[in-house]
């Protein structure tokens, strides 16, 4: 059973370009979460999605950031017009059912570098 998959693992963009990060949850999981980690800091929640629905996006910046989880295919975190402050590791997690005690399993992350 494959774990959470993320690609690309590393992404380099110039200021003003767009970044697209993909996440395929574990088999049987229909809940996806995105977190951002700045260097030497903990993970910060960004957004929680179920298939075709955004459940909680309270941790996501209001501008330039968007996320989707279509009926078919991976979840996408999209950052438009990237700035240097967007440089971070972005982690995706998945869980089978959204309850307080369902563990979230993390992918290897995408490390975004904005030049």
Residue ranges in contact with another protein by CB under 8 A:
4, 6, 31, 33, 35, 41-45, 48, 55-56, 58-59, 91, 93, 98-101, 103-109
Q: How far is the CB of 57 from another protein (least distance, A)?
A: 11
Q: How far is the CB of 111 from another protein (least distance, A)?
A: 8
Q: Which two tokens stand for residue 45?
A: 């929640």
In this complex, which beta carbon is closest to another protein, that of residue 1 or of residue 101? 101
Q: How far is the CB of 74 from another protein (least distance, A)?
A: 16
- How far apart (Å, rounded) are the C-alpha atoms in residues 32 and 92? 7
- How far apart (Å, rounded) are the C-alpha atoms in residues 92 and 77? 9
The residue count for the chain: 115
Please answer whether residues 92 and 32 qualify as being in contact, where contact means their C-beta atoms are separated by less than 8 angstroms. yes
């Amino acid at each position: 059973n494959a774990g959470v998959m993320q690609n690309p693992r590393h992404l380099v963009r110039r200021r003003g370009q767009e970044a697209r990060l993909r996440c395929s949850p574990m088999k049987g999981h229909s809940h996806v979460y995105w977190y951002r980690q700045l260097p030497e800091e903990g993970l910060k929640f960004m957004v929680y999605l179920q298939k075709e629905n955004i459940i909680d996006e309270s941790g996501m910046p209001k501008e330039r950031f968007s996320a989707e989880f279509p009926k078919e295919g991976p979840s996408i975190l999209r950052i438009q017009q990237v700035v240097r402050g967007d440089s971070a590791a972005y982690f995706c997690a998945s869980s089978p059912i959204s309850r307080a005690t369902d563990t979230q399993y993390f992918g290897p992350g995408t490390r975004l570098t904005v030049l």
